[in-house]
Amino acid sequence: MPWIWIGAAGLLITGVAATVAVKTYVRPVPVAEEAKAGPDPLGPLSVETREALTKATPELGAELKRSFLGKPEDLCTKLEDLGLDNSGWRRAPFTQSRWQCASDLVLLTTPSVDFGPSTLFFLLRGPTAGKVDYLRLKLVVEDPRQKDIGLEAVWLVIGALADRYGWAVPSEFRNAVAGFQPLEINDRGIHLSVAPENPDLTGDALASQRLNIILNFGEPDLIRPAGRFEQGPPLEEAWRIRGRDGPGAE
């Protein structure tokens, strides 16, 4: 019965092939060797530098800020010429680190039967004798019919500051002052605040007619004040600047 053996041999060969195929199919994929970590690229840097480079919130670039230069005493004199008598630019009382000029309480109108007078007060301050960084105005207008008179005085003060230093007053700020509406904004590094007093806190129904206006000028970012620069060595005597056709000059 040779055909039986041939059939058996064929089945045996088929089974062996199937086993090889299954083993080949389920052969486990070799695990790749873990890559060896190289040296830390930030290793040579200082701890402070590494923390600055790896912290989640990066440092933002310097913001352009308006800086007010000039002579503060000239501005105080200008305000006095406008009718706002003040003490002149001098050291602030109770502190040796601030300078200021402050006005008296200026009467803008006379009192009426139903309302007190409209008044204005200003305080101008700075960290040194030659710098202004803060202006506060307080306007009181109890009689709504005198509101325009009070606002005109406010804009005389702010206008004197803006004209001297080339600052364009934001329209949003103007509208808040004109409407006695609260506002907090920043314009080129200047923090502007408009804050009417709250009748619920003072118990005075006329408190909303008292307006506090603050202009706070911050320090420029990442810029050293000019007074801290070191003086360079003197120029050599032989150093000259020569024009195209003119003689040399030191």
Angle at 48 between CA 43 and CA 49, to 5 degrees: 60
Q: How far is CA 248 from CA 236, 237, 239, 244, in A?
A: 14, 12, 9, 10
* Residue-wise pLDDT tens digits, 65-112: 666 666 889 889 988 988 888 989 999 988 878 999 999 889 999 888
CA separation for the pair 10, 168 (Å, rounded)? 100
pLDDT-derived band at 150 (thresholds 50, 70, 90) equals very high
Contact between 72 and 122 (Cβ < 8 Å): no
- SS3 of 115-137: the string is CCCCEEEEEEEECECCECCEEEE
- Least confident range from 24-38, 73-87, 159-173, 236-250: namely 236-250
Mean predicted confidence (pLDDT) in 42-69: 70
The answer to whether the beta carbons of residues 139 and 210 sit under 8 Å apart is: yes
Name the residue among 135, 117, 240, 241 with its Cα closest to residue 194.
135
| 169/207: higher pLDDT | 169
Report which of residues 50 and 93 the model is more confident about: 93
Q: Higher pLDDT residue, 197 or 220?
A: 197
Residue type, 22: V
3-state secondary structure of 224: coil
Pairwise CA distance, residues 12 & 8, whole Å: 6
Work out the percent of the chain whose per-residue pLDDT is above 70.
Answer: 66
pLDDT at 90: 93
Q: Sort residue 11 into left (φ over 0), alpha (ψ -120 to 50) or beta.
A: alpha
Sign of the four-CA dihedral 196, 202, 205, 210: negative
Can you give the pLDDT at residue 159? Answer: 87
- Over residues 27-55, the mean pLDDT reads 73
DSSP 181: -
Distance CA 250, CA 246 (A): 13
Angle at 228 between CA 222 and CA 234, to 5 degrees: 125
Number of other CB atoms surrounding residue 30 within 10 Å: 6
pTM: 0.60
In this predicted model, what pLDDT tens digit does every residue of 207-250 receive, in sequence order?
888 999 999 986 655 554 555 555 555 555 554 555 555 555 44
